Amino acid sequence: MTQFSNTNLTAKELIGWVNDARQRTFDLVADLSDKQIMSPYLSIVNPLLWEIGHVAWFQEKWVLRESCRQKPIRDDADKLWDSIAIAHQTRWHLPLPSRDQTLDYLRQVRDRIIEQLEGENPSPELCYFVRYTVHHEDMHNEAFTYTRQTLAYTPPQFSESNVCHHIPGGGGSLPGDAKISGKTFALGATLDQPFVFDNEKWAHPVEVNPFSIALATVTQAEFAAFVEEDGYHRQEFWSQEGWKWRETENAAHPVYWKNNGNGSWLRRHFDQWYSLEPHLPIIHVNWYEANAYCCWAKRRLPTEAEWEIAASADPVDLDQPNRLFPWGNESSHSSRANTDWQTMGCIDAGALPDGDSAFGCRQMIGNVWEWTSSIFSPYPGFEVDSYKEYSEPWFETRKVLRGGCWVTRSRMLRNTWRNFYTPERRDVLAGFRTCAL
């Protein structure tokens, strides 16, 4: 059941979040032509003109219509932007409002929500749905970013009021493992957390055997060695399902790599090609590719329970309460995690030691999402939220990713946050770390 009592934010803070998220949406499409904002059909992206309208529709539906009992701003909104009811391929053929009309709809929704928050004593229900829908917009803003990468658009430019701040680079790679003793561990969110999604509910005991997990994610140089040893063409490294995917896609290297013709590799970042940066984490690889690399390297992917222990437990006293973030219980900032578009890309896998977990594992928040071996499943006692379609329809069909990436909003991230994608997705901003066999 959805809990409305403890969003832990003031109305003023929520207004700041609403404005910030909406400005980020505007910025992510502001420089695109009308042709670019209605890109050709692809199964892994939405037309951006449709998707920005969907973001506002979702917020209007849950905040203004469900919580505030207001009438729809547009009578045709459900027929245009309800992602559950509208098939993906249909979204290119809808009678969508013009770009200016769509942007005006986004502004109207924003302004009406702020008006509600500025009223006397906004209800816990209103505050909950405002926070929920801001996080929904944050997720779509991440999707807008990797859509721009997929379509080879230029990097997004952000307005002066929403400017990114750079964080320290360098750091190189970080070889080695953290050794973690086995225990019964509480996996999932606790009732005292101010906001969680339904798939994090609730903390429950899991038995974990001793394991060793990499201090950092796999780098481009490490993954290049797998490619150069013909790893994509050696069936012994691939699962049956993964090999079928590889053959169907004719995959021979990561999706945004190409051979430079002189024995080296180039990587596409938005619309530009760069020589491989050896210490940056591998990114834009799917679960099959990550698993094949592990088999080649005689390693394995961590389970999500192992990942969460490495991120949140105390090595001296494993019975201590879990940390909310790898470094402790204070929210993230730029010296600890590469999030929020701060660097417009990845940084070295060995950078930001201030963000280490208690076991010394680095960048478990930010830089790249990390595939785990776990299937996305409900926790015992799973309680569905008001937005029933967020998690429940996707159980048993996705793999779990943890930690966030360089785009993810830091206000969403914590050690218990679970992301989930189908194993063939290469467009998302995902890499991985490994465990010893």
Q: What are the domain boundaries of the chain?
A: 11-160, 164-437
- Above pLDDT 90, what percent of the chain? 89
Angle formed by the axes of helices 48-59 and 124-150, nearest 10°:
170
Rounded (5°) CA angle 3-418-428: 130
Expressed in angstroms, the distance from the first to the final Cα of the chain is 39
Rounded to an integer, what distance in angstroms lies between the CA atom of residue 102 and that of residue 25?
A: 12
pLDDT at residue 4 is higher than 70: no
Q: In the 3-class helix/strand/coil scheme, how is 32-99 assigned residue by residue?
A: CCHHHHCCCCCCCCCCHHHHHHHHHHHHHHHHHHHHCCCCCCCCCHHHHHCCCCCCHHHHHCCCCCCH
Rounded to an integer, what distance in angstroms lies between the CA atom of residue 90 and that of residue 41?
A: 10
Q: What is the domain class of 11-160 according to CATH?
A: mainly alpha
What's the half-sphere exposure (Cβ side, CA atoms, 13 Å) at 365? 32
> Within 10 Å of residue 162's Cβ, how many Cβ atoms?
14
Across 280-416, the runs of DSSP E, i.e. the strands, are 299-300, 369-375, 399-402
Q: Would the pTM count as exceeding 0.75?
A: yes
Taking residues 223-241, report their average pLDDT: 98
The sheet with strand 435-436 has its strands ordered as: 177-180, 211-214, 435-436, 299-300
3-state secondary structure of 268: strand
Q: What is the pLDDT of residue 167?
A: 73
Rounded to an integer, what distance in angstroms lies between the CA atom of residue 156 and that of residue 350?
A: 26
Q: What is the domain class of 164-437 according to CATH?
A: alpha beta
Beta strands 204-208; 183-187: pairing state: antiparallel
Q: How confident is residue 306, by pLDDT bands cut at 50, 70 and 90?
A: very high
Q: How confident is residue 234, by pLDDT bands cut at 50, 70 and 90?
A: very high
Closest CA to 341 of 148, 162, 220: 162
Q: Which amino acid is at 265?
A: W
Q: What is the pLDDT of residue 285?
A: 98
Q: What is the pLDDT of residue 163?
A: 55
Closest CA to 378 of 429, 328, 420, 343: 420
217 secondary structure, DSSP code: P
pLDDT tens for 70-92 read: 999 999 999 999 999 999 999 99
pLDDT at residue 1 is higher than 60: no
pLDDT tens for 150-159 read: 999 999 999 8
Rounded to an integer, what distance in angstroms lies between the CA atom of residue 273 and that of residue 420?
A: 29
366: tokens are 């930010």
The residues pairing with 183 across neighbouring beta strands, listed in sequence order, are: 208
DSSP 15-30: HHHHHHHHHHHHHHHH
> Within 10 Å of residue 405's Cβ, how many Cβ atoms?
26
Q: What is the pLDDT of residue 6?
A: 56
pLDDT at residue 244 is higher than 60: yes
Closest CA to 9 of 168, 159, 130: 130
pLDDT tens for 380-421 read: 989 899 999 999 999 999 999 999 999 999 999 999 999 999
